């Protein structure tokens, strides 16, 4: 584990949904996810920091079954792959980043504790997403 693993901040998960998927997402109910590329934006500001990303990876790999957050329901699906992880160390910008990423928002997904509408975005342009993330990155990191 590196020092940045124990620190916190904001993170973005680039996710590939390999085939159209219909699944229950906790209290949100049933969602349909067309095949394609998505970005989920989350925060890891509490105790444990970016260890939360390890938990997301374990669910995506089939090594952990407990679903707690909305993203767990998507990552735990058979045709879903976690493609990339981006960390913004010591930066609290979850809602701002989710709003800045271009694409189609998945209504209410990952946004039960805020008013920005969605933290999961279906994307078409990966370089535009990475550019949006870089605007929030600390130049010292």
The confidence score (pLDDT) of residue 65 equals 86
Considering the domain boundaries, does residue 105 fall inside one?
Answer: yes
Considering the domain boundaries, does residue 41 fall inside one?
Answer: yes
CB 70 within 8 A of CB 26: yes
Count: domains in the chain:
1
CB 120 within 8 A of CB 56: no
pLDDT at 2 exceeding the cut of 60: no
- CA-to-CA distance for 141 and 136, rounded, in angstroms? 11
User: What would the pLDDT profile of 5-37 be if each residue is shown by its tens digit?
Assistant: 678 999 999 999 999 999 999 999 999 999 999
Considering the domain boundaries, does residue 128 fall inside one?
Answer: yes
Considering the domain boundaries, does residue 37 fall inside one?
Answer: yes
Domain that holds residue 107: 3-133
Considering the domain boundaries, does residue 84 fall inside one?
Answer: yes
Please list, residue by residue across 54-73, b when 16 or more beta carbons sit within 10 angstroms of its beta carbon and e when fewer do: ebbeebbeeebeebebbbbb
Considering the domain boundaries, does residue 140 fall inside one?
Answer: no
Count Cα neighbours of 137 within 13 Å in the Cβ-side half-sphere: 13
Mean pLDDT of the chain: 91
CB 106 within 8 A of CB 33: yes
The confidence score (pLDDT) of residue 81 equals 96
| Token pair 């010292």 in the structure block, residue | 140
pLDDT at 93 exceeding the cut of 70: yes
User: What would the pLDDT profile of 101-129 be if each residue is shown by its tens digit?
Assistant: 999 999 999 998 888 889 999 999 999 99
pLDDT at 52 exceeding the cut of 70: yes
Phi, psi of 67, rounded to the nearest 5 degrees: -100, 120
Considering the domain boundaries, does residue 22 fall inside one?
Answer: yes
Considering the domain boundaries, does residue 53 fall inside one?
Answer: yes
Q: Is 9 exposed, middle or buried (0-12, 13-18, 19+ CB in 10 A)?
A: buried
Q: What pLDDT band is residue 53 in, cutting at 50, 70 and 90?
A: very high
């Amino acid at each position: 584990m590196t020092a940045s693993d124990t620190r916190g901040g904001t993170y973005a998960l680039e996710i590939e949904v390999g085939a159209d998927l219909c699944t229950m997402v906790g209290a949100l109910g049933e969602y349909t996810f067309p095949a394609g590329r998505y970005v989920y934006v989350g925060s890891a500001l509490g105790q444990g920091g970016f260890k939360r990303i390890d938990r997301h990876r374990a669910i995506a790999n089939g090594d952990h079954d407990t679903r707690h957050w909305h993203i767990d329901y998507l990552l735990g699906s058979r045709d879903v792959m976690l493609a990339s992880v981006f960390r913004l160390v010591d930066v609290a910008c979850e809602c701002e980043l989710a709003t800045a990423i271009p694409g189609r928002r998945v209504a209410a997904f990952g946004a039960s504790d805020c008013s920005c509408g969605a933290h999961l975005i279906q994307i078409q342009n990966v370089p535009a997403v990475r550019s949006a993330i870089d605007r929030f990155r600390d130049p010292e990191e």
